[in-house]
Amino acid sequence: MSSFTAIDLFSGIGGVKMGLQQAGFNVTYSNDNDLYCRKTFETNFNHGLDHRDITLIPSKEIPNHDLLAAGFPCQPFSMAGNQKGFKDPRGVLFFEVARIIKAKQPKVFLLENVKNLKSHNKGETLKTILTILEKDLGYNVHYSVLNSKDFGLPQSRARIYIVGFKDNVEFEFPEKIQIKQPKISDILEKKVDEFYYLSQKYYEGLANHKARHSAKGSGFGFEILNPNGISHSLVVGNMGRERNLIKDRLSKNAYSEGMDKAKTKNALGVRKLTIRECARLQGFPDSFLFPVSRTQTYKQLGNTVSIPVIKAVAIQIRKSLDKLKSKNKSLIDNPKLGETISLRAFVDL
């Protein structure tokens, strides 16, 4: 078992937990109050999810830990949302994270959010967050925007990652994985249920919608992916999925002239990415189960994290913690090294 423990706030279906575990952390506590996420989480992990509203959980009831991880709600800062930021009730949940950090004093935290957090409100939102983490809570903070496509996944998904250490320790974000870029074709299923194919009526509606915007000089509308390319970021809602369509073999119920367009599948073989394909785009193993409806599952996958990115960042965090542990052990074993440190720097390492 790892010598470093972690907790996972706003856990969702457990993507952050999986990434931390793969990096060698022992995740001892997870929290999320979404009923459907709880069902998926508890189907796949061997312990329960604290499903209470985080605003109602006393800090003393959260176990002590070395690493606090939190993908606090991103919708208030997302380009796809209304961007209300801290004016959105979900936006202020960051302050609950800060409350727990202040009370539990973890050695390090890892926060994840949408790329737009960096520019939201002309940069003032991120400035406020950093001020709280650095000035009010006393952490040494690093942040970077990382893209899932650089970590072995055929998905362009840029997210901001914020890491803070209680002690002044060397830390570097992971470099891009130098491997051949995976392709959409790598994650496609061979046998796809008819459900995923668009009806002829729906497909024509999308095509007409895109044509209207194109005539106005806009590129807005559906998109059929190149199997040799990568997908757009998975998001919540139909329009996000309609930008991640794929052309496959024709459905057995494909449209031909004279047939009912609403009751037949499109004549081009265009379909949505399946749930399993979307899960693969986020780095989930095929053994991961989704016991909820397709609608809820798509929502969960749009809201979750890319596991390989979390793993890569967490590995870097472990390296820093290992160096700090080694340094403090040397100072304990060799008190005449000439460097004075406080007890806080090494207690419980």
Catalytic residues, which ones? 74
The amino acid at residue 141 is V
Q: How many residues does the chain have?
A: 349
Q: Concatenated DSSP letters for 89-134?
A: TTGGGHHHHHHHHHHH--SEEEEEEEGGGGTGGGGHHHHHHHHIII
Q: Is 326 exposed, middle or buried (0-12, 13-18, 19+ CB in 10 A)?
A: exposed
| Residues 321 and 304 sit within 8 Å (Cβ to Cβ) | no
Rg value, the chain, Cα: 23
Could you give the CA distance from residue 227 to residue 188 in angstroms, rounded to a whole number? 9
- Measured between alpha carbons, how far is 216 from 336 in angstroms, rounded to an integer? 74
- Angle between helix 15-22 and 307-333 (nearest 10): 50
Count, in order, helices (H) and strands (E) of the chain. 9, 8
Give Cα separations from 248 to 185, 189, 198, 225, 232 (angstroms): 11, 10, 11, 11, 18
d(CA 281, CA 307): 10
3-state secondary structure of 67: strand
Chain centre distance of CA 227: 24
165 strand-pairing partners: 108, 140
Quote the CA–CA distance of 212 and 201 in Å, as a whole number: 17
